[in-house]
């Protein structure tokens, strides 16, 4: 269970805090009473959730690149965190084809730098390294990938996430294991599905693309309507990261392994199903359009088996996919109306926590 009182006053260091998931996480940590330091490049999109929700006003925000080990080390030394959640990443598949060196540098070397810097900060008790469901070698089969499934990737992004998992496993065994000493940090990795939610403005990502077109009252261009993904609201995996961080902190190396945080099977829908549902919720009647530019190849089917997290962490998803899409549309309508988006986000977090009866 996620214990709200556990987080009060905890010093937490978050990389990638200016991104979509990082912004939501920092708002949640602030609500829980944690003392948060973030380290990241400037917000990657315009607009950005980080700016529109004034995330920086309740935390220490440091501009820096995880590929700069010296800068990252200085930030960690100054913050003296107890918990580190590493989310800084190049997170787009299509962009990885255009910028493979940047993708590997950020996702692989950045993870290495983070773990190397943590080795020199004895205050750290727990590290959650966030990778992706795409770290698995995609066999295009119908059952979910488990934590011991084969790693790999056809595209630079997926391959970089598989490499990041190997880095984490190597550091776990070499520097953060029980035999390395009783006071070393416990390190776990987390793999989530296709995360969606209000405030995601990334390019070449389905739900943001749909919402941008709806805000302009224009049809959406869709490349592959038959592709199936494990869709989940952004707060679902963040809840898992927080639960995992707690257990790494309190129980140490017994939880220092890889963890999947994926939606239930009924949330695994096609791209076509998602766009038709969002169009209905938004209230438009025009049709989406087929994009003639298919771009580089992408996997058509991918799902996660999260039974390990359910059995050992007590984590389980709380929102079904129709509810998730309804929340996203309502969030976007409030943004369109010019509401206070920090207030909107914190209210959504509170609503999610109220649904989750495991929070005490």
Tens digits of per-residue pLDDT, 288-347? 888 766 566 666 567 889 999 999 999 999 999 999 999 999 999 999 999 999 999 999
Confidence band of 287 (pLDDT split at 50, 70, 90): confident
Farthest CA pair distance, the chain: 62
Tens digits of per-residue pLDDT, 43-57? 999 999 999 999 999
- pLDDT > 50? residue 192: yes
- pLDDT > 60? residue 40: yes
Least confident of 220-234, 247-261, 270-284: 220-234
Residues 40, 91: Cα–Cα separation, whole Å:
14
The most confident of the ranges 118-127, 203-212, 280-289, 298-307 is: 118-127
In terms of Cα–Cα distance, which of 203, 261, 257 is closest to 230? 261
In terms of Cα–Cα distance, which of 35, 38, 57 is closest to 342? 57
Residues 212, 210: Cα–Cα separation, whole Å:
6
Least confident of 101-115, 141-155, 292-306, 312-326: 292-306
Give just the sign of the alpha carbon dihedral 28, 68, 102, 169: negative
Mean pLDDT in residue range 21-40: 98
- pLDDT > 60? residue 360: no
**Domain ranges (residues) in the chain:** 4-355
- Cα–Cα–Cα angle for 307, 313, 316, nearest 5°? 55
Output DSSP code: residue 304: B
pLDDT at residue 48, rounded to an integer: 97
User: Which tokens go with 254?
Assistant: 């017994």
pLDDT at residue 286, rounded to an integer: 84
Confidence band of 245 (pLDDT split at 50, 70, 90): very high
pLDDT at residue 298, rounded to an integer: 63
- pLDDT > 60? residue 149: yes
pLDDT at residue 170, rounded to an integer: 97
Which bin fits 91, alpha (ψ -120 to 50), beta or left (φ > 0)? alpha
- What is the pTM (predicted TM-score) of this model? 0.94
- pLDDT > 60? residue 101: yes
Mean pLDDT in residue range 233-255: 97
- pLDDT > 60? residue 227: yes
Least confident of 75-89, 106-120, 148-162, 286-300: 286-300
Residues 341, 54: Cα–Cα separation, whole Å:
8
Mean pLDDT in residue range 136-163: 92
CATH number of 4-355: 3.40.50.720
Higher pLDDT, 295 or 70: 70
pLDDT at residue 355, rounded to an integer: 87
Are 281 and 329 a contacting pair, CB within 8 Å? Answer: yes
- Cα–Cα–Cα angle for 171, 175, 176, nearest 5°? 85
> Which residue matches tokens 């983070």?
114
User: 314 to each of 27, 187, 232, 296, 303, how far by Cα in Å?
Assistant: 23, 19, 18, 38, 20
Give the pairing of strands 258-261 and 186-192: parallel
Are 101 and 123 a contacting pair, CB within 8 Å? Answer: no
């Amino acid at each position: 269970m996620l214990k709200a009182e556990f987080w009060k006053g905890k010093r937490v260091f978050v990389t990638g805090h200016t991104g979509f998931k990082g912004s939501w996480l920092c708002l949640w940590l602030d609500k829980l009473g944690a003392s948060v330091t973030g380290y990241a490049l400037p917000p990657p999109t315009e607009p950005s959730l980080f700016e529109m929700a004034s995330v920086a006003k309740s935390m220490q925000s440091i501009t820096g690149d995880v590929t700069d080990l010296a800068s990252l080390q200085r930030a960690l030394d100054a913050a003296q965190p107890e918990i580190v959640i590493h989310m800084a990443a190049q997170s787009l598949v299509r962009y990885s084809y255009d910028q493979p060196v940047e993708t590997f540098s950020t996702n692989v070397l950045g993870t290495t730098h983070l773990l190397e810097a943590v080795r020199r900060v004895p205050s750290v008790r727990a590290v959650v390294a966030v990778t992706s469901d795409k770290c698995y070698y995609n066999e295009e089969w119908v059952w979910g990938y488990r934590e011991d499934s084969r790693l790999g990737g056809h595209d630079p992004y997926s391959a970089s996430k598989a490499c990041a998992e190997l880095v984490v496993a190597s550091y776990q065994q070499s520097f953060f294991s029980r035999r390395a000493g009783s006071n070393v940090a416990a390190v776990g990795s987390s793999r989530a599905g296709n995360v969606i939610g209000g405030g995601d403005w990334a390019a070449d990502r389905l739900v943001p693309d749909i919402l941008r077109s709806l805000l302009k009252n224009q049809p959406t261009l869709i490349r592959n309507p038959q592709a199936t993904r494990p869709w989940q609201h952004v707060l679902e995996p963040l809840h898992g990261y927080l639960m995992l961080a707690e257990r790494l902190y309190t129980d140490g190396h017994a939880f220092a392994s890889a963890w999947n945080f994926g939606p239930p099977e009924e949330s695994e829908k096609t791209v076509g199903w998602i766009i038709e549902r969002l169009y209905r919720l938004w209230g438009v009647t025009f049709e989406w359009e087929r994009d003639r530019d298919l771009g580089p190849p992408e996997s058509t089917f991918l799902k996660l088996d999260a039974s390990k997290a359910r059995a050992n962490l007590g984590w389980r998803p709380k929102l079904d996919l129709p509810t998730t899409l309804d929340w996203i549309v309502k969030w976007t309508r409030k943004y369109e109306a010019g509401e206070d988006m920090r207030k909107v986000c914190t209210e959504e977090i509170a609503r999610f926590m109220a649904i989750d009866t495991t929070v005490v």
